Amino acid sequence: MEIFRSRQTLRNYIERQKEMGKKIGFAPTMGALHKGHLSLYEVARKENDLVISSIFVNPTQFNNQEDLEKYPRNVENDLKILNKSGWVDAVYVPEVTDIYPQGLESKSYDFQGLEEEMEGKSRPGHFDGVGTVVEELLRQVQPDNAYFGEKDYQQLAIIKKLVETLKLPIKIHGVAIYREESGLAMSSRNERLSSSQKDAAKIIHQTLLKVNDWFRVITIHEIEDRVKDIFENEKGMQLEYFEIAEEATLKKTDFFYKDRDYRAFIVVHVGDVRLIDNLHLD
Ligand code: PAF
C-alpha cells in the first residue's frame, strides 16, 4: 500500500493512475478505523480498479477545541489496519497546510436547507467544515466513486448536494451502517463506553426497530412519546433528539405521505458519549 503525506506526491500518483485509465474509488476518514470503515473499502474494492483512502482529522468540522483534542488519533495503527485489510491501494495522510493552504477556514455553502436540520441545529458550522474538507479531498483525489457511511446520513445527503452543486463528475455512494452483533452502530466513539454502557446502548437500535414496527400503525406523536418514555426509564442515558424525517429533504414530518420515504434519526448520550443512529422505515 502506498502512503502519501503531501498534496504533491498524491498529485503525481493520481496523474499516473488517470493516464492508465484506472477507475478510482475513494473513502475519506478521520482515522480511528474500525469495521465500519472496512465495509466502505470492501464495497469500493468491488466497483473500482483502485481504492484510495485518506486519514485527516479535520479541525474545521469540530464545534469546540476540547472535542477536537479528544478525537482519537493513531495513524500508525490505522495504517496497519489498512495494510492488513488488503482492500486499499493507497492512503493520503495530508498535513493541515495541504488541505488549508490559505489558513484554517471553512467555505460557506448553501446546502438548500439540509444543513439546518438535526445535526445542523446543535453543531453550527459543522457542515461547512465537512463540505470544505470533502470538496478539497475530492478535487485532489479525483475519484470516479466516493463512499460514505449511512450512519452519518445527513452528512451523506449534504455531500451528494455538494457534488451536484459543484458539478463534480463523481458518484457518491452511501454504505449501510455496520452494526456490532448487539445492533449498536459501529463508531470510534464506542471505544469510550464501558462494557456495561456498551451493552445498555443496544437499546438505541432496538428502539429504532420498534419505531419501524409502529411506522404507519400509530401516529408520529405517539411514536415520539413512546421513544421519550423508553429513554426516560434508562439510567445514564439522555435522549438528545428523535425525529422522523423525509429522506429527500431531511425535514421533520408530522404526517406520513404514501409515496414518500421516511427515516428515523436519533441521538443519545450514554454517559458523556454522544451516539448517533438512524433507520430507513418500511
Ligand atoms: O465522516 C467522517 O469521517 C468525516 O466527516 C469526513 C467525511 C472524513 C470528513 O472529514
Query: How far is 271 from 235, CA to CA, in rounded Å?
Result: 9
Cβ < 6 A, ligand 1 pocket: 28-30, 58, 61, 130, 133-134, 152, 155
End-to-end Cα spacing for the chain: 41
Nearest CA to ligand 1 atom 3: 29
Q: How far is the CA of 91 from the centre of ligand 1 (A)?
A: 15
The catalytic residues are 37
Using the atom order of ligand 1, give the atom closest to the CA of residue 149: 1
Average pLDDT value for the chain? 97
Average pLDDT over residues 152-157: 98
Using the atom order of ligand 1, give the atom closest to the CA of residue 152: 1
pLDDT digits (tens, 9 = 90+) for 52-96: 999 999 999 998 898 899 888 999 999 999 999 999 999 999 999
Quote the pLDDT of residue 112: 96
Does the pLDDT value for residue 230 go beyond 90? yes
Does the pLDDT value for residue 212 go beyond 90? yes
Query: How far is 202 from 209, CA to CA, in rounded Å?
Result: 11
pTM of the predicted protein model? 0.96
pLDDT digits (tens, 9 = 90+) for 7-22: 999 999 999 999 999 9
Q: How far is the CA of 37 from the centre of ligand 1 (A)?
A: 11
- Dihedral of the alpha carbons of 272, 57, 122, 125, in degrees to the nearest 10: 160
Q: How far is the CA of 31 from the centre of ligand 1 (A)?
A: 9
From 39, 58, 137, 162, give the residue whose CB has the most ligand 1 atoms within 8 Å, as the site to mutate: 58
Q: How far is the CA of 156 from the centre of ligand 1 (A)?
A: 10
Query: How far is 235 from 215, CA to CA, in rounded Å?
Result: 26
Quote the pLDDT of residue 238: 98
Using the atom order of ligand 1, give the atom closest to the CA of residue 30: 3
Nearest CA to ligand 1 atom 2: 29
Quote the pLDDT of residue 64: 87
Using the atom order of ligand 1, give the atom closest to the CA of residue 56: 10
| Residue closest to 127 by CA, chosen among 88, 159, 83 | 159
pLDDT digits (tens, 9 = 90+) for 104-152: 999 999 999 999 999 999 899 999 999 999 999 999 999 999 999 999 9
Domains in the chain (CATH in brackets) are 2-175 (3.40.50.620), 188-281 (3.30.1300.10)
Q: How far is the CA of 217 from the centre of ligand 1 (A)?
A: 36
